[in-house]
Amino acid sequence: MTGLHTIYLYDDPDSQGLDIDYLAGYLASELARVEVGVRTDFITHHLGRFSEEERETLEAELRKQLEGATVEALARAQEPAITELTGDTDLQEMYAARPLQAAMRLLIPQEETDMAQLHIIFCSELVGELDVQSGPSLDTLRTLQTGVAALGSPTIISTSGLIEAPKRPREYYFKRTQYLMLGADEHLDELAEQFADRTVAYGDPRLNELLKGYLLMAVIYRATGDGACSEPTCPLYAAQTQQELLEAQAGPQSRICQRHREILNAIGEPLYE
């Protein structure tokens, strides 16, 4: 197990309702031996240590890296080029997880890159993966998958992904499609209220509660290399639906499973006596 001793949480002013201090306090309560620090948004914080001239150069390079990290840019670069993807997601507004992590990693100072330190970035942008496979007719099949958290160095947690990645109930999509086909957009708010106990929306007051498990997932991954939990009542469970998300993170049976509780209790202990 990695001797993790410091975690940095980076705020995101565009994530409505995000309470970075509350989340830092929660993480500190779960990790008695780990120091948890709060910082402003990732780019502002790390560019702040450079001179104005250096910042201009770095900002230009970072802009280039970020433009290349969008799913659209990566999709167009492949052969044969993608001309259409299903879904209504704006590909220019979605980043591919690994290239985005690589771009962010360039800003982390050398003294903060060891395995004992973990950077967790919150962002409002969508983060996803473009899964490319060869189909039975040798055609290239491309599936766009929206995610919540890209674990690793640094970890990136998308607050929009928390809402868009887990699926809503089938009845929700059916009724939404009906309203849109009938031009009854005014009923969409009623639809959100009708399914409020099984869905998550932008501005949801439960946002910070639902993010806790992903913070723990990032910590466990950094410390042990393990991913999500298989127990649906554990906050580290990788929910596929919004109802599963609500039950795992904030349901009456929600609790950290024994295995992950033991790992969390051990994090921060000296590796060698």
What pLDDT does 81 receive? 47
Q: What averages of pLDDT result for each successive group of 10 residues across the chain (273 residues)?
A: 88 96 97 96 95 93 90 68 45 82 94 96 89 48 74 95 92 85 77 85 94 96 91 95 95 96 86 47
What pLDDT does 131 receive? 64
Does some domain include residue 87?
Answer: no
Burial 21-32 (b: 16+ CB within 10 A, else e): eebbebbeebbe
Does some domain include residue 132?
Answer: no
CATH of the domain at 208: 3.40.390
E strands, the chain, are 6-10, 35-39, 94-96, 117-123, 126-134, 140-147, 149-150, 155-158
Torsion of CA 17, 147, 229, 253, to 10 degrees: 40
CB-CB contact of 249 with 235 (8 Å): yes
pTM: 0.88
Does some domain include residue 166?
Answer: yes
What pLDDT does 139 receive? 44
Domain span including residue 236: 6-71+98-125+152-266
Does some domain include residue 272?
Answer: no
Does some domain include residue 107?
Answer: yes
CB-CB contact of 198 with 246 (8 Å): yes
Does some domain include residue 146?
Answer: no
Put the strands of the sheet holding 126-134 in their side by side order: 94-96, 126-134, 140-147
Does some domain include residue 177?
Answer: yes
What pLDDT does 191 receive? 80
Domain count, the chain: 1
Does some domain include residue 64?
Answer: yes
Give the other-Cβ count within 10 Å of 258's Cβ.
10
